[in-house]
A = this chain, B = another copy of it.
């Protein structure tokens, strides 16, 4: 087993550096029939390693899964896959106008929500991080708690 080699603070800062640079993260959820599920997602907004925001279609499998069980994990890879971080937390599904406006990007209009920020099938996912870890070059490792 690896021992913690980065301090709590250093670990979180390194995880945040990865998160600020990626377009794609991987969200794991508790899926159906006792299977985990994973999909690529693009965060709408990243507030450090504390809160990540996403949009989702009401009819997507992740919404169905997160309604049943809000526990989730976010996994992200740094440049050239040389580092990774993992964030554990839970997801709150939001349907209010303020949240929708806050995460809205006109990019979403093209494929996801042609009716704009008021699309009836648009939901906002707020992922609140409880704890996480980071692994860098040579397996150097750390954990943090929020």
Contact = CB atoms under 8 A, between A and B. Distances in A.
Interface stretch (A8-16, A48-56, A72-80, A94-102): A72-80
A49 B36 CA distance: 18
B37 A28 contact: yes
A39 B84 contact: yes
B37 A36 contact: yes
Chain A's interface size range is: 20 to 34
Nearest to A75: B38
A86 interface: yes
Given A24-B81, A59-B1, A73 B30 contact: no
Contacts of A26: 26, 38, 75
